[in-house]
Amino acid sequence: MDRAVRPKDTERAEPPRLWTASEANSRIADLAELLPRLKGWVVRLGEVHEELKRLSEFWGTDVDAPDHADHDLKERLDSEWKNLTRRLEEVVTALRNEGIELKDLDSGLVDFYGIVEDELVFLCWQRGEPRVGYFHPISGSSRDRRPLPENAAPARARGSA
């Protein structure tokens, strides 16, 4: 899965919070624990999707009849699909509301809104890295990552806690 995990209505006028590298680093342990859980949910969603597809291809709309042999299975799978989708959207929305963008779940790529040299940027972290050590322009991607300047002033940005 080489795509960003995004909730509905992702457009935002300005970030809810800007992070310093130090503040972002304080979230790394939580994110390192959260990412595998999210990945597990996404994997399970794929399995549920495949099973629902199989039922639909085999039985068509007959499986929706209350007296159908696989009706209960389909209802359980539909319920699991909705529950997993809701949980994923809630977590990703909560992260976005904090100014944290989950860019790629497979690689564990996460961006934090921040300021470097008076420019709004994404501070980058990827699972396996010991700390947030890179940034890229908001309009760029992880391919544009550059090391954070050593002498970057850790000034608190607007909206930071």
Question: What's the burial of 47, exposed, middle or buried (CB within 10 Å: 0-12/13-18/19+)?
Answer: exposed
Summarised one tens digit per residue, pLDDT across range 18-48 is 999 999 999 999 999 999 999 999 999 999 9
Task: Identify the helix (H) or strand (E) that includes residue 100.
Answer: strand 100-104
The answer to the question of residue 115 being in a domain is: yes
| Residues 6+ positions from 22 with CB-CB distance below 8 Å | 154
Look at residue 140 and tell me if it is in a domain. yes
Evaluate if residue 1 carries a pLDDT over 70: no
| Residue 155 pLDDT grade (very low, low, confident, very high; cuts 50, 70, 90) | very low
Structural domains counted in the chain? 1
Tell me the residue range of the domain where 130 lies: 21-147
Q: Tell me which amino acid residue 159 is.
A: G
pLDDT digits (tens, 9 = 90+) for 55-105: 988 888 888 888 888 889 999 999 999 999 999 999 999 999 999 999 999
Whether 34 maps to a domain, the answer reads: yes
- Does residue 109 lie within any of the structural domains? yes
pLDDT at 11: 53
42: in domain: yes
Q: Does some domain include residue 86?
A: yes
Q: Does residue 154 lie within any of the structural domains?
A: no
- Is 126 contained in some domain? yes
Q: Mind listing the pLDDT tens digit for each residue in 122-148?
A: 999 999 999 999 999 998 787 889 999
pLDDT for the residue numbered 12: 54
What pLDDT is stored for residue 75 in this prediction?
94
